[in-house]
Structure 1
């Protein structure tokens, strides 16, 4: 495996992990909001904030990574 191929493989894995972390954070937020995970009856405020952070992370963090990698490659 060449160095260039290893670099792109590492970048793809990082990209996928960041997006999956955002989705996991969203799902955790939904679980906190609508289940008895943290307290009886759910905790909609905390769950909603966490879910919103997860959505923002899943959408914008990969774009920021791509921009950082483009700057690194120049």
Structure 2
């Protein structure tokens, strides 16, 4: 594998991780403010999912990068 292929695979992995975090944030917001799971929304569960999504989108790719550089 060339360095370009490795860099491309890493970029795609980071992109998927961040997109998952953003999707989790959007899902949490939808659960908190809409009637998806129960009438009137479920603010507590939605907030937990939204915060988890933000943390995942911001920090998970940094953690993966750090662990992949150690190898």
When the two chains are superposed, the root-mean-square deviation of aligned CA atoms in Å is 0.9
1:35-54 per-residue CA deviation (whole Å, 9 max, x = no partner) reads 00101110000000000100
Consecutive unaligned residues of structure 2, counting only runs of 5 or more, are none
TM-score normalised over the length of structure 2: 0.95
* Cα distance in structure 2, aligned partners of 1:5 and 1:69: 16
Structure 1 stretches (4+) deviating beyond 3 angstroms?
none
Consecutive unaligned residues of structure 1, counting only runs of 5 or more, are none
Query: SS of the residue aligned with 1:59?
Result: helix
TM-score normalised over the length of structure 1: 0.91
Residue correspondences, number: 71
